[in-house]
Amino acid sequence: MYEVIVSDIIDCTKKTSGRMLDLGCGGGHLGLTMLKSAKDMTGILLDSNPEAAAIADQRAGEWGLRSRSFTVVGDVHQIPLPDGSIDLAISRGSIMFWKDTGKAFSEILRVLAPGGRTFIGSGMGNKELGEEITRKMKKMNPDWPDCVHRSSNGHTMEDYRAILTKFGAQFEFINNKNQGKWIIFCKKSS
């Protein structure tokens, strides 16, 4: 799944070098897969859960990517990075847990370098992978995916559009059954 999503990230953002930030990285799968594909990129794996950050750091070592990545325990609502320091911000599945999406988007825009882009949302790579993962998850938890939706922030793409318009961000959405729901926005170049 992550290889397919990373291919979509590269196709949509054209980013294969610079500094990448994986927001809500969990075990680091998306960010580390991005670093495997983009050899000229360094990465920061950010998660508010210290255990998740530790798993991501361990995985970076196992995948031979520790020299190009580091983990940070921090929150998307107050990203502990300098202004304009990130070329690509990515996230899969964390947006639904953000308590204040407007504040999170504001912070992401703050840390993006001019011309920096995002690929944030949810998806399982493609329709076939999505169906396979859904079958497996329902076996483990018959309440899935309803339990995920109940814990989400409930925003629609129109809500995201209103927030990003307020900030003056250039944005586009991917919203289809094959790829999932993704928000691509950029910080305007000076």
pLDDT tens, residue by residue, 43-68: 999 999 999 999 999 999 999 999 99
Question: Could you identify the residue written with the tokens 């999932």?
Answer: 180
DSSP-derived letter for residue 16 is -
Q: Decide if pLDDT at 25 tops 50.
A: yes
Task: Please report, for the chain, the start and end positions of each structural domain, with discontinuous segments joined by +.
Answer: 2-186
pLDDT at 150: 46
Q: Can you tell me whether residue 182 is helix, strand or coil?
A: strand
Query: How is domain 2-186 classified at the CATH fold level?
Result: Rossmann fold (3.40.50)
Band the pLDDT of 153: cuts 50, 70, 90.
low
Question: How far, in Å, are 75, 77, 190 from residue 99 at the CA level?
Answer: 10, 8, 30
Name the least confident of 5-14, 48-57, 61-70, 139-148: 139-148
pLDDT at 181: 81
Crossing angle, helix 29-37 and helix 2-13, to 10 degrees? 60
Residues near 78 by Cβ (< 8 Å), separated by ≥ 6? Answer: 107
Name the least confident of 45-54, 96-105, 115-124: 115-124
